[in-house]
Structure 1
Amino acid sequence: MFEFVHNNKTAVQIVLGLVSAGLVIGFGLSGYSAMGESDNYLAKVGKTQITERQLAEAIGNQAVPDDMKPMVVEQLVSQQLLQEKAQQLRMTVPDAVLREAIGSIPAFQVDGKFDSKRYQELLAAQQMTPTQFEDKLKKDLVLRQLMDGVMQTGFVSNSELQRLNSLMGDKREVSVATLSPEQYLAKVSVSDAEIKQYYDANLTQFKAPEMVKLEYVSYSQADLAAQQTVSDAEVQKYFDEHKSELAKEERKVRHILLTAPKDMKADDKAKVRQQAEVILLEVKKNPAQFSAIAKAKSQDPGSAANGGDLGYFAKGAMVKPFEEVAFKLKKGEISGIVESDFGFHILVLDDVKGASLADVKPQIEQKIKQDKAQVAYQAQVDKFSELVYQQADSLKPAADALKLKVVQSGWVTRKAAEEPLLNNPKLIEAVFSDDVLKKKHNSEAIEVGRDQLVSARLLEYKPSQTQALADVSAVISSKLKLEKAAKLLASDGEAKLKALNAGNAVELAWGEAKPFSRIGEQGVAEADLKAIFKADNSKPVYVGANVPNRGYVFYKVGNSVAAPALTPENKFRMGESLAKMYGQVELTAYLDSLKKDIKVQYSHRLKKSVE
């Protein structure tokens, strides 16, 4: 439902978020802050409460960082506002529409058709009954209906499209030259007194943080999976049990198509069918000439030139009448006349293939290893935690018992660690606690990632200390020289820009002229772009600016290049994009208006902070 939902959720978890995926309302987060934990709800819409549990369920029962909670809660508030309004309007979804929506969800299908058993099994795996799922889906469909009614009102006029096309497509020919601060370094110097003065005034910059070196053990499901062994018998058994999923049959078909749209008159369609029957007699009389006949008579623009060859495809790739026949044919067999929404087809089956055990063996082995590791991991999690806690003076007992490796770290500060595995806020907080620093105990087992625990203990400690002047003198000298060079650069750049616009010759290394647009010019400040496009190109015009971390940049503005005329296709796409954008604006405004009629109350944990 939300952008940060993990991709590895089960099929049903993904399905549950599909309908509401469009409800992403933009709003500022800077005015919110996560506070205490005393309220029983995070927000209240009318009389409906949004709780921590609903928040977790909305993103697949994952932990939500405090700084992300306001955004997720606001999404749930928006959904509830729309649901409340839908109830006021007595909006509903017919049972037939609900059944069609459920039946069209791929997760509930087997061989392209809705499967009641699979439907119930997948819902049961999520501890959800069909009634619960259908109630949720019905609410989501109503919500979508209301959203579409608001968002599809966007209208874009031709004048707006032309103006936008001009803004996006107009260009100016621009040459660029740059002066860097380094070019002025030879003209500046820094004395020992200046270095000492800077050092004394900025001692906090040279204070090294306290640091620790650690030894640690990691216990993870991924590591356990790598240790598992899988026999050929286990692979064969898994393959036999999941053959329909792993070794999907694909068929290679050629066809001849005579087009007959659905809205064609019955008499005309009958004539097309008669033509198809004549061709069918011809191909059955000369099967070896099927490709040649297809090239000459098939009206399918995508395959006729290739003798009607459609390549390999699995179930679900073709329209139903075509697919049903294609998957009943024997190799080399020619079908009868097959009618679809496209017209009349004649098929011949060239080949059948499916993945062999050898093709999917690596994938099966990995799956079995992961399944074994999951069981082993869950069985040993408590043991790992107990060993590092009960035998707190060493990590060796836990490492020996679970066949883990004790690893030594680089330096770790209160802000970061060199090793990504240790760069976890909870673990860093634990290793700087008195229990680890002073008592020299193992840290508790900290979850640093999905199905991964780490415990660490102290090897070496360095207290915070100020670096000596001698150790940082070169760094300070370099910094001060660059600052002085930058001042020279700014002064010289402004003088050169003035001279250029006065018509005087200035020696600069100009690059090749290139077209600049109003958008997408990386490294060009907005003010500079505005000046470039305002410039009168009847004479040479120069624009310049001192750009941080780059230098003084000069732009020589040349000819204007008008935007190309809008093609019908581009006009349609641009209009569609603008309409969607306007629709989102309309939806945001609509939600704001709903908040005036339906009271929204936020918990003190999410109330707006005073800026």
Structure 2
Amino acid sequence: MLDAIRQSATSWGVKVLFGIIILVFVFWGVGSIGDGSKTQVVATVNERPILAQTFRQAQQRAVENMRQRNPEVTHEELRAMGLGRQVLESLVAEELLAEKAAQLGVTVSDVELRQKIYQLPYFQDESGQFDPDLYRRILNSQRIGIAEFEDDMRRSILSEKIERYVTHPAKASEEEAHELFGYSREKRTLQYLLVENDDYLDQVNATDEEVAAYYEENKEAFSVPMRLSFSYLPFTPSALASKVDVPEEYLREEYEARIDEYMQPEQVKARHILIEVAEGANEAIVEQAKREIETVRMRVVELDEDFATVAMEVSDGPSAVNGGDLGWFTRGQMVEAFEEAAFSLEPGAVSEPVRTPFGFHIILVEDREDEHVTPFEDAKESLKLAIAEDRAADLVSNLLDVALEQIYAGDSLEAVANDLGLAVRSTDEPLTRDGAQMILALTDKALDRLFSMEEGYVTDTPLETVDGYVLATVEKRLPPDYEPLEDVRETIAERIRQDKAEEMAKAEAEQLAERVQESGVPAELADALETSRPFDRQGLIEGLGMNQELTQQAFAAEKGAWLTGAWAVNDGYIVASLHEITPPTQEQWATEKAMWVDFISESKKEELFRSFLNDLQQKAEVLVYQQELIQ
């Protein structure tokens, strides 16, 4: 809680300070742990102590903060992350900044402190005014004293002031921003010849000797972790819901009370075909895309070609692989122009071309539903289950106590289940930890306990799940092993064949690369030349996949030049030339200028602040006395 409040109150520099940048600190000296005078001191910073109590409080806040984001994080994981050392490093940084502030005469007045606290939304009432009673209650609930909190806030404000003082000169010019904008937003297009791996599969095979050798060389890839077969009796709201009777009269009353939940908005089920056009593209590119989408519409409307098939062939964007299927959607889920067109169509109709920020679309509406209320009969079963589970939550504790008494008395899981009117469940096959977790949703500790149980043993303490408990009996333990060769023979053989086919495709592509470098595209391959979608420096080329080295070569090449060598892509290897260079438009720059100026300014501030912190560290004497606390 305290960390969250501090983050609301501080700027980017202080957040960086207490997160990542502080990792630049390296502790030089290690004092004697056995020195009795130092037992209450974790470290000193220029002879000023950091007390063990201060460290533990900061560490506890850090742990609570981590667990708010990830409730399942374990102590071992926190230790592996070096949380203790990071906490100490942040405390050292606070001391160094406080020392620097004193040297500069920078202070935090009581008025400044009050203003900052008054601005925190955590402590404001519904009208947005600071509420002193709420302030005290929240701090009490978090076991934080007012003096402790205000001292911590004062130090945070002080650090923020130093950050502003240090980074004030860091500003970006419009020229710098425009240069980075142009570099980042430029796109390029390739022309390429593709040599597909699959074209060589019928020319290769895998011998028994090769399969056996591959299995031995890669045996760990076929390892199987420990598995358990077990029976279990869950005590969760969903498992106990069947013991709760919900009369239909009550169901109808609840249905009427929750009627708003059953209001279904107007929705349509649609497919689309997209020809991408960047916002701000020049008129020639826009007209070309418009002609393409009109041709596509003619194919599906006048020539009666299957919409999904055409979408898979020509559409841009992720839905193309599913035939342009967008599923059901309601108003407000799509951009305005697309939404207006889709909701104006009757089922079976195809729209005229629609322009959106993504490009040109045509839309096929396959079905539609008007706004309506889900009938009681359709909602009854799900509502009944929800109510039953809610009531069953109150049964968990009592039934579990009864079950445990019988387990302690020596009863089997089956006998317990029969007496309680429940049913024991069993795994259909041995399960790994992941498999067991999928069906039981156990906590980490409970999962560890389950996999440490011996065969035939019944849990004498319940295993905790995300919403209840489980009692279990391990029927069979299968130790870690390897899949038998015969079970994976076909998989290995196919893998070897794929590798051999890829090697042949690569060799063919490399030879082709040499030919085009010398004399251009062979006449017999001219019709096979393809053009990529425009791509940026991130490395992903739509349809070809991710290849950062290929992207780097493309952005280093001159227009029309062939790239050296053959390049691995999704389906094989390509031989490519740089076809188009598309700089960003002035319209894009006008839209994004402020963002790029801010981005470079913040980067400069971060760099300047990092240098400042490093300088403080270089001049400081930091001694650590209790290494065991920070491990």
Alignment of 1:268-347 (within 5 A): none
Residue 553 of structure 1 pairs with residue 574 of structure 2: yes
Indicate conservation of the 8 Å contact 1:172/1:517, yes or no: yes
The change in CA–CA distance for 1:84 and 1:178 in structure 2 (over 3 A counts) is same
Residue 98 of structure 1 pairs with residue 116 of structure 2: no
Within 1, Cα distance between the matches of 2:22 and 2:98? Answer: 28
Cα deviations by residue, 1:66-125 (Å, 9 ceiling, x for unpaired): 344445445533532342134322343222222222222223223222223333333332
For residue 521 of structure 1, what is the aligned residue in structure 2?
540
Residue type of the alignment partner of 1:92: T
Residue 477 of structure 1 pairs with residue 493 of structure 2: yes
Indicate conservation of the 8 Å contact 1:393/1:440, yes or no: no
Alignment of 1:292-441 (within 5 A): 383=401, 390=408, 394-395=412-413, 406-409=424-427, 411=429, 415-417=433-435, 419-420=437-438, 421-422=440-441, 425-433=444-452, 436-438=453-455, 440-441=457-458
Equivalent of 1:76, from 87, 94, 113?
A: 87
Residue type of the alignment partner of 2:585: P
Alignment of 1:489-508 (within 5 A): 489-502=505-518, 503-505=520-522, 507=525
Within 1, Cα distance between the matches of 2:145 and 2:238? Answer: 32
Residue 457 of structure 1 pairs with residue 473 of structure 2: yes
Task: Give the % identical residues.
Answer: 19
Equivalent of 1:595, from 602, 617, 631?
A: 617
Aligned-residue offset at 1:494: 0.7
For residue 66 of structure 1, what is the aligned residue in structure 2?
76
The change in CA–CA distance for 1:96 and 1:133 in structure 2 (over 3 A counts) is same
Within 2, Cα distance between the matches of 1:588 and 1:226? Answer: 61
**How many residues were matched structurally?**
455
Indicate conservation of the 8 Å contact 1:195/1:476, yes or no: yes
- Which SS does the other structure have where 1:113 is aligned? coil
Within 1, Cα distance between the matches of 2:135 and 2:201? Answer: 72
The change in CA–CA distance for 1:146 and 1:374 in structure 2 (over 3 A counts) is farther
Within 2, Cα distance between the matches of 1:385 and 1:132? Answer: 47
Within 1, Cα distance between the matches of 2:427 and 2:601? Answer: 54
More deviation in 464-473 or 100-109?
464-473
Aligned-residue offset at 1:567: 4.2
Residue type of the alignment partner of 1:517: D
Indicate conservation of the 8 Å contact 2:211/2:492, yes or no: yes
Within 2, Cα distance between the matches of 1:501 and 1:439? Answer: 71
For residue 459 of structure 2, what is the aligned residue in structure 1?
442
Residue type of the alignment partner of 2:210: E
The change in CA–CA distance for 1:606 and 1:97 in structure 2 (over 3 A counts) is closer
Indicate conservation of the 8 Å contact 1:152/1:580, yes or no: no
Indicate conservation of the 8 Å contact 1:388/1:455, yes or no: no
The change in CA–CA distance for 1:126 and 1:442 in structure 2 (over 3 A counts) is same
Indicate conservation of the 8 Å contact 2:539/2:551, yes or no: no
Cα deviations by residue, 1:245-300 (Å, 9 ceiling, x for unpaired): xxxxxxxxxxxxxxxxxxxxxxxxxxxxxxxxxxxxxxxxxxxxxxxxxxxxxxxx
The change in CA–CA distance for 1:531 and 1:224 in structure 2 (over 3 A counts) is same
Residue type of the alignment partner of 1:103: Y
For residue 141 of structure 1, what is the aligned residue in structure 2?
157
For residue 533 of structure 1, what is the aligned residue in structure 2?
555
- Which SS does the other structure have where 1:112 is aligned? coil
* Runs of at least 5 residues in structure 1 that lack an aligned partner in the other structure: 2-11, 33-37, 231-367
Aligned-residue offset at 1:499: 1.6
Within 1, Cα distance between the matches of 2:136 and 2:414? Answer: 47
Within 1, Cα distance between the matches of 2:239 and 2:140? Answer: 30
For residue 577 of structure 1, what is the aligned residue in structure 2?
599
Aligned-residue offset at 1:185: 0.3
Residue type of the alignment partner of 1:390: Y
Within 2, Cα distance between the matches of 1:484 and 1:388? Answer: 62
Aligned-residue offset at 1:491: 0.6
For residue 56 of structure 1, what is the aligned residue in structure 2?
60
The change in CA–CA distance for 1:206 and 1:78 in structure 2 (over 3 A counts) is closer
The change in CA–CA distance for 1:458 and 1:530 in structure 2 (over 3 A counts) is same
Aligned-residue offset at 1:472: 2.6
For residue 15 of structure 1, what is the aligned residue in structure 2?
5
Residue 511 of structure 1 pairs with residue 530 of structure 2: yes
The change in CA–CA distance for 1:205 and 1:93 in structure 2 (over 3 A counts) is closer
Q: Quick check: which one's helix share is greater?
A: 2
Equivalent of 2:179, from 159, 163, 170?
A: 163
Within 1, Cα distance between the matches of 2:7 and 2:238? Answer: 28
Within 2, Cα distance between the matches of 1:586 and 1:579? Answer: 10
Within 1, Cα distance between the matches of 2:41 and 2:443? Answer: 27
Indicate conservation of the 8 Å contact 1:152/1:579, yes or no: no
Within 2, Cα distance between the matches of 1:510 and 1:470? Answer: 43
Aligned-residue offset at 1:206: 4.4
More deviation in 167-176 or 179-188?
167-176
Within 1, Cα distance between the matches of 2:428 and 2:230? Answer: 7
TM-score by length of 1: 0.61
Cα deviations by residue, 1:518-557 (Å, 9 ceiling, x for unpaired): 23635342322222122222x4524554437642133331
Within 1, Cα distance between the matches of 2:209 and 2:165? Answer: 72
- Select the structure of larger CA radius of gyration: 1
